[in-house]
Amino acid sequence: MSTKLAIIQFPGSNCDQDILEAFTRHFGVMSTFVWHTENRLPKVDGVIIPGGFSFGDYLRSGALAAHSPIMQEVKSFGRAGGPVLGICNGFQILTESMMLPGALLRNKNRKFICKYLYLQAHGGRSSYHQELAGRTLAMPIAHGEGNYYIDEEGYKTLEGEGQILFKYAASPQDREGGNPNGSKGSIAGIVSSNGRVMGLMPHPERATDQILGGSSDGLLVLKAFLNTTM
Amino acid sequence: MKFEVIVHVKAEVLDPEARAITETLHRLGMPQVKNIEVAKRYVLDIDQPTEAAAKDQVESIAREYLANAVSETYQVRRM
């Protein structure tokens, strides 16, 4: 049976078409859009929360979206072991809905940052880690609030439990020097304690074609997600 | 009855906006400004039979929605 994905749409989502296109064109995977006011998820193998500026970033980035009716369903889906991927604003929505620990604060340099950078994939026990650990990926970021914050105790838990998936890197050789936004420990992406929910600030769906930006490394992240749905 | 909710980042969390304003005031010749805290103010008009019930509801709204417990704290005050 073929994989089916749900892409959640909020007012202000703007990477929903891109992620649908990436999964359809590169993997032949069918996705269906689900509007945020829905109370039920269709029968799917994975859920994507795309990037954008849901509800105009009012209150805090992702805070209003986190309380949308559909998010109750997404929470149940994730708790039951369903794979959930949150990209950029999707990551912010996942932390605001407490599906992932920590919070995403305003960038330390106060600027909206839109650029390509490198990510170092770290080790851990989740299926995402198994696919990606040890790799260096080139991918763009585009955010004003990507400064990952968690207290010291929380950070030790993330490290100890192997929940850190990506750290920013200045170059393919660099381990942690390329922190663009002030994130604790240069964190760019994490997974939940059950290893099924992944959130990251960089945009894998914007790095799927060499001719657009010069990297197709985003496909590796999307493939890791698809393999988790199987 | 009206309640004021003030939400601001925790002391240990860097607030880039507050730092930018502080640095600008320093540059404008006001080194006496040691620190600035920036906060958001919400005013909630609540219809409840008693003040205690209204305050409980405001506390709950502040805790669950207006502040993010990871990075922010809040104070509630009857106006």
Contact between chains at A110 and B17 (C-beta distance less than 8 A): yes
Q: Which position among A15, A73, A88, A145 bears the catalytic label?
A: A88
Closest CB from B16, B20, B70 relative to A102: B70
Closest CB from B16, B65, B70 relative to A106: B16
Which segments within chain B are labelled E, that is strand?
2-9, 39-45, 72-78
Confidence bin at A1 (pLDDT 50/70/90):
low
| H-helix segments, B1-79 | 16-27, 51-61
Q: Average the pLDDT over A180-198 and give the result.
A: 96
Distance CA A180, CA A146 (A): 9
Least trusted range by pLDDT, from A41-45, A146-150, B14-18? B14-18
Pick the more confident residue, A11 or A230.
A11
Closest CB from A59, A96, A105 relative to B13: A105
Contact between chains at A182 and B14 (C-beta distance less than 8 A): yes
Task: Find residues 4-23 of chain B whose CB sits inside 8 Å of chain A.
Answer: 9, 12-17, 20
The predicted structure's pLDDT at residue A178 = 83
Confidence bin at A170 (pLDDT 50/70/90):
confident
Distance CA A126, CA A226 (A): 13
Confidence bin at A174 (pLDDT 50/70/90):
low
Distance CA B3, CA A225 (A): 46
**A65 contacts in B (CB within 8 Å)?**
none
Average pLDDT, chain A: 94
**ipTM confidence score:** 0.84
What is the tens place of the pLDDT at every residue in A62-100? Answer: 999 999 999 999 999 999 999 999 999 999 999 999 999
User: Residue A205 catalytic?
Assistant: yes
Instruction: For an interface test with B, give the residue of A57, A58, A60 to mutate (most B CBs within 10 A).
Output: A60
Q: Residues A11, A94, A113, A116: is their CA dihedral positive or negative?
A: negative
The predicted structure's pLDDT at residue A173 = 66
- DSSP H or E stretch at residue A33: strand A30-35
The predicted structure's pLDDT at residue A51 = 98
**B8 contacts in A (CB within 8 Å)?**
none
Sheet containing B39-45: give its strands across. Answer: B39-45, B2-9, B72-78
Q: Average the pLDDT over A199-228 and give the result.
A: 95
**B13 contacts in A (CB within 8 Å)?**
105, 149
